[in-house]
Amino acid sequence: MLRLDEITYRIGPRTLFDGASVTVNPGHRVGFVGRNGTGKTTLLGMVTGVIEPDSGTISVPSRWRVGITRQEAPDGPESLIETVLAADEELAALNAEAETATDPRRIAEIHVRLHDKEASRAQARAARLLAGLGFDEATQQLPCQSFSGGWRMRVALAALLFTEPDLLLLDEPTNHLDLEASLWLESYLRNYPGTVLLVSHDRDLLNRVAGEILHLENGKLTLYSGNYDRFEATRRMRLDQNAKLRAKQDAQKSQIMKFVERFRYKATKAKQAQSRLKMLERMEPSPEHREEGTVAFTFPAPKPALASPLYTTEKVSLGYDAKAVLENLSLRLDADDRIALIGANGNGKSTLLKLLAGRLSPMTGEVTKSGKLRVGYFAQHQADELDLAATPLIAMTRKRPDEPPTQVRAQLGRFGFGQERAETKIGDLSGGEKARLLFALMSAEAPHILLLDEPTNHLDVHSRQALVRSINAFEGAVVIVSHDPHLIALTADRFWLVAGGAVTPFDGDMDDYRALLASRGGNGPKAANGAAGNGKKERRREAALQRKEARNLKRGLARAVAEVEKLQAKKEDLTQAIADPALYRDEGDSANLAALQKELGQVEKDLSAAEDRWAEAQETWDAANA
């Protein structure tokens, strides 16, 4: 088993681990979660021995082979299949020695070991891993150096899985994968024979793969039984119990102190007062939860609202260097559309987003859109969109040059940038902070359409949930490309399948798409030909209508919740503003006070109506799922 005992590790003045302990049993699949920057990758480094803890011990069985995701992509003239085969150094060495060995005894030993390692199946197994991660048979024969960094990171993952280590350490393995490869990896890990420690912010992956969740918070490690949903429920229950216990203790302490203060100087009660003071000293303080910082996203409502359709294409072809990637596109995007683009990487999803964003012109065909249409585009590759030498404040000022500094800072503040981080070089920001800055910049002009290309790559689970709420509260259209099935399931109403040079509607939901991929035995559709399912056409149509109604109910409920949360936050801000003593020092502020009180009254009225809509939406949802 993997055992960590009283681990402490510091980086400068910051303590990442403070006497942390945990035991991971053999064969268990453990999801490792915690906010970005808390030390998850550092712990994996300590397990492999690359990083030494300041104190404490880490023990891994000596017979265990430990494998971890590589931070650098493989390169070189070797083919993909050769690169994966070479990852098993013992197998490669045995094969090489078998070609040259002459001693009969050694030849026998080599062949026994090759038999033990099932060498005859090695090439087929490597090919299956590469196929699952998106490389067809012809592609597997191409040199590794001919692929981009993202695709070569897939080869690195295939090579790691090929070695089948006893302890498999995976650090955000889906970051370089598309949805199809992510779903394949999910299936592969569910059946992995060894021990898995999986760092991920992909809720669906954690729910479907992990049997335990290891949580890192405030320098401590806590192991929970069950998948991510069960972890959240158990942790929430534990926090509620601690909060109730703390409130009860505080009330007891208050009563004891009142007694002590009243009677400590009276001779007849002094002994009892001293007894109660000792009782206070013996009381075990209940743990106080220190919630780590949360992030909120706020996408402003597009004004003025535009009539549908916002965007249409008629027989459009587009691509690069006179070579078409997508052809004969006749599409329509309406003001209330929530569309997810699905299909394997390389089929043109990002290319289509670039067309919608105005970054790519059509080769043929006609595009029609409103002259007042504003588009917010979140690009997958952050470095292409950001000036790394500038600060968030400078970047936002360039975006909104006519606005006063207070409003520029307010827009940054909506996405979690206080004064210090707003004046930090963008190149020094974390991946999650860069993502939030892109959200802030893309929404600065209140766009009518949000185009999101892999928006969750650098966001933790809590930030992803905040993003889901913000997308559902947004009043414009949304088009998403994401490898996170949880995000897609909660935000998208419709699917467009991008495959075979075409874009066609997919009549189904995420479960249907999983079934389609499983039925084809690959990680991506070969052609766009409608939904999965064996029922008759009428039954499929009825099922699709039911799914659409369920998605609309879910989206309506999410919007109602987001509206209540937004108004509650506004009410709290106004209440604090009215309670500010500075407002009452100057008699000239009476008009400002009256305006704040009037606004508070309106917000309370709006909040009451929003809570009614929430209750109605919840009742409708509960009835539909009874």
**CATH number belonging to the domain at 311-532, selected among 3.20.20.80, 2.40.50.140, 3.20.20.70, 3.40.50.300:** 3.40.50.300
| Kind and range of the H or E run holding 503 | strand 502-506
Measured between alpha carbons, how far is 618 from 571 in angstroms, rounded to an integer? 23
pLDDT tens per residue across span 343-380? 888 889 999 999 999 999 999 999 999 889 999 999 88
Measured between alpha carbons, how far is 340 from 496 in angstroms, rounded to an integer? 6
Res 585 pLDDT > 50: yes
Q: What's CA 238's distance to the chain center, in Å?
A: 24
Task: Say what the pLDDT of residue 399 is.
Answer: 87
**In CATH terms, are 1-65+165-226 and 311-532 the same topology?**
yes
CA distances 478 to 340, 356, 488, 509, 547, Å, are 8, 11, 11, 17, 19
Give 484-487 contacts, CB < 8 A, sequence gap 24+: 484/174, 484/179, 484/182, 484/202, 484/203, 484/204, 484/456, 485/179, 485/182, 485/183, 485/204, 485/510, 486/202, 486/203, 486/204, 487/455, 487/456
Task: Say what the pLDDT of residue 371 is.
Answer: 86
Task: Say what the pLDDT of residue 322 is.
Answer: 85
Task: Say what the pLDDT of residue 383 is.
Answer: 61
Confidence of residue 281 (pLDDT cuts 50, 70, 90): low
Measured between alpha carbons, how far is 353 from 345 in angstroms, rounded to an integer? 13
Per DSSP, 344 falls in state -
pLDDT tens per residue across span 32-70? 998 877 899 999 999 999 999 999 999 999 999 999 998
Task: Say what the pLDDT of residue 215 is.
Answer: 95
Res 283 pLDDT > 60: no
Domain edges within the chain? 1-65+165-226, 74-157, 232-282, 311-532, 559-624
Beta bridge partners of 375: 449
Mean pLDDT computed over 466-492: 89
Task: Say what the pLDDT of residue 364 is.
Answer: 94
Measured between alpha carbons, how far is 403 from 330 in angstroms, rounded to an integer? 39
Mean pLDDT computed over 590-611: 83
Write phi, then psi, for 137 (nearest 5 degrees).
Answer: -60, -40
Measured between alpha carbons, how far is 389 from 142 in angstroms, rounded to an integer? 37
Mean pLDDT computed over 472-501: 90
Least confident of 78-92, 223-237, 536-550, 602-616: 536-550
Res 223 pLDDT > 90: yes
* Angle subtended by helix axes 590-624 and 537-579, to nearest 10: 150
- Please name the residues in contact with 11: beta carbons below 8 A apart, sequence gap of 6 or more: none
Q: What's CA 541's distance to the chain center, in Å?
A: 32
Task: Say what the pLDDT of residue 613 is.
Answer: 81
Task: Say what the pLDDT of residue 142 is.
Answer: 92
Task: Say what the pLDDT of residue 280 is.
Answer: 60
Task: Say what the pLDDT of residue 336 is.
Answer: 86
Confidence of residue 290 (pLDDT cuts 50, 70, 90): very low
Confidence of residue 605 (pLDDT cuts 50, 70, 90): confident
Confidence of residue 445 (pLDDT cuts 50, 70, 90): confident
Mean pLDDT computed over 268-274: 61
Are 269 and 385 contacting, i.e. CB atoms less than 8 angstroms apart? no
Task: Say what the pLDDT of residue 7 is.
Answer: 95
Token pair for residue 369? Answer: 């859109």
- 264 or 598, which is more confident: 598
Q: What is the 3-state secondary structure (H, E, C) of 368-393?
A: EECCCCCEEEECCCHHHCCCCCCCHH
Task: Say what the pLDDT of residue 534 is.
Answer: 42
Are 183 and 209 contacting, i.e. CB atoms less than 8 angstroms apart? no
Nearest to 407 by CA among 374, 445, 378, 434: 445
- What count of Cα atoms within 13 Å lies in the side-chain half-sphere of residue 155? 31
Give me Rg for the CA atoms of the chain: 29
Res 294 pLDDT > 70: no
Greatest mean pLDDT among 100-104, 213-217, 286-290, 443-447: 213-217
User: pTM to 2 decimals?
Assistant: 0.69
- 325 or 562, which is more confident: 325
- 87 or 536, which is more confident: 87
Mean of all residue pLDDT scores within the chain = 83
Mean pLDDT computed over 384-409: 88
Task: Say what the pLDDT of residue 268 is.
Answer: 56
CA distances 90 to 95, 116, 127, 385, 529, Å, are 9, 12, 19, 44, 45
Least confident of 21-35, 481-495, 564-578: 564-578
pLDDT tens per residue across span 116-138? 888 888 889 999 999 999 898 99
pLDDT tens per residue across span 497-538? 998 899 999 988 888 888 888 776 554 433 333 333 344 445
User: Percent of the chain beyond pLDDT 90?
Assistant: 36
392 C-beta neighbours (distance < 10 Å), count? 27
Can you name the CATH fold of 1-65+165-226?
Rossmann fold (3.40.50)
- 609 or 394, which is more confident: 394
